[in-house]
Amino acid sequence: MNKGDDLLSVLVAAKHAGASDVLLVAGAPPSAYVNTHLRAMTDDPLSASDLMAMVHGFLTEQQRERLEEYRDLDLSYGHADLGRCRINIHYQRRSLAVAVRIINSEIPQLDQLKLPPQLAELADLPRGLVLVTGPTGSGKSSTLAALVERINQERHAHIITLEDPIEFGFTNKSSIIGQREIGEDSPSFADALRHVVRQKPDVILVGEMRDLETISAALTAAETGHLVLASLHTNAAAQTIERIVDAFDSQRQEQVRVQLSAMLKAIVCQTLFNDERDGGMAPAVEIMIKTPAIGRAIRDNNTHLIDGMIETGGQYGMQTLDAAIADLVRAGQISHKAALARAANTERLERMLAQSGSAGERVAAAAKDVPVAQPVGARTSPSRRPWE
């Protein structure tokens, strides 16, 4: 049997166990993340030689050459028994290691991801820049896929995705979708973005704004009348703005702030928790909607004011990460300890929880179907969108 089949069998077994990620490292047994918990799949550690044979049997000759040259290789893979997955193969301590993200083949809907309903309005934007941010494994790709799928269902648009590698495979519905894989269909995100405007897109998905060239090209695409959806590895809205501005040299930063103040529409920052009610995952989401006041804060380099504007911007559909985490505690979905570990401001989170009563009281009331009074300042549905 081809050793590459051994790798496939490990991935299929992990998927059947409900894993989201698989790690293969010499000297350790194959391991998988199931609901964010890392678990060994067997008791037998992998040897360096066995792992090399598995990987080389799995790859094409061209992929093996690229791995040897760059010592890192990213690829996507699809199989009838597995669905799609995203694979990174790299060297560590002179031996190979493999990290695999198993992707749900079904394109998720926003409500299936337990995301705030106001995010659906972002799919209606005709132009501008929408950023989805968060740490690795926080569900950014799923959120972006859900937004693209909503556009695909609701609008007649030409959508082009730029991904490294392609994760979700879309089917044309009301829209036409072209998917370009970086490294296969285009050499880089920056190169793909430079040419994409000639392909007459209405919506552009940028899998990751990872370098100056990509960030600059994405800003230009948004500035020229396209809706650009993109991701970044940042944890808060203000931090996201600062990360983009700091990518440029000091002579260009003022111009970039002006660009962002004009074209940025929203920043969605998310993190994932284990949902203690149903055993699944529960997202906590910070939402910043660009209002005129936030636009001025960006332009005038007053990003330190943005967190307070988000906290008081409930009428526009905004919420802080801590407010979202507090909601999960009140609903009994996460523990108080888990909430504090991820809070942006632990003192603020403690105040929110103290104002609204303990999680136990609210869960008990919900179980009895007894209405619970909302705390002072509780968020309501957005009354209007500031870009209208």
Q: Running along the chain, 388 residues long, what does each successive block of 10 average in pLDDT?
A: 74 93 95 90 93 94 94 90 91 95 86 95 97 93 96 97 88 97 89 92 95 94 95 96 97 97 97 91 96 98 97 96 97 95 94 74 46 42 54
pLDDT at 380: 46
Q: Do residues 49 and 21 share a domain?
A: yes
Q: How far is CA 10 from CA 89, 242, 243, 377, in A?
A: 15, 41, 38, 50
pLDDT at 89: 97
pLDDT at 377: 40
Query: DSSP string covering 94-162, please?
Result: TEEEEEEEEE-SSPPPTTTTT--GGGGGGGG-SSEEEEEE-STTSSHHHHHHHHHHHHHHH---EEEEE
CATH of the domain at 71: 3.30.450.90
Q: Do residues 78 and 214 share a domain?
A: no
pLDDT at 357: 64
For the whole model, what pTM was predicted? Answer: 0.82
CA distance 182 to 188: 5
Q: State which residues form the domain around 45.
A: 3-103
- Residues in Cβ contact with 259 at an 8 Å cutoff, skipping those fewer than 6 apart: 219, 223
Q: Do residues 47 and 173 share a domain?
A: no
CATH of the domain at 284: 3.40.50.300
- Picking from 118, 170, 121, the residue whose alpha carbon sits closest to that of residue 141 is 170
pLDDT at 387: 52
Q: Do residues 36 and 148 share a domain?
A: no
The domain boundary residue, chosen from 103, 131, 151: 103
CA distance 216 to 247: 9
Residue 382 forms part of a structural domain: no
pLDDT at 368: 44
Q: Do residues 165 and 273 share a domain?
A: yes
Q: Do residues 75 and 165 share a domain?
A: no
Q: Do residues 236 and 316 share a domain?
A: yes
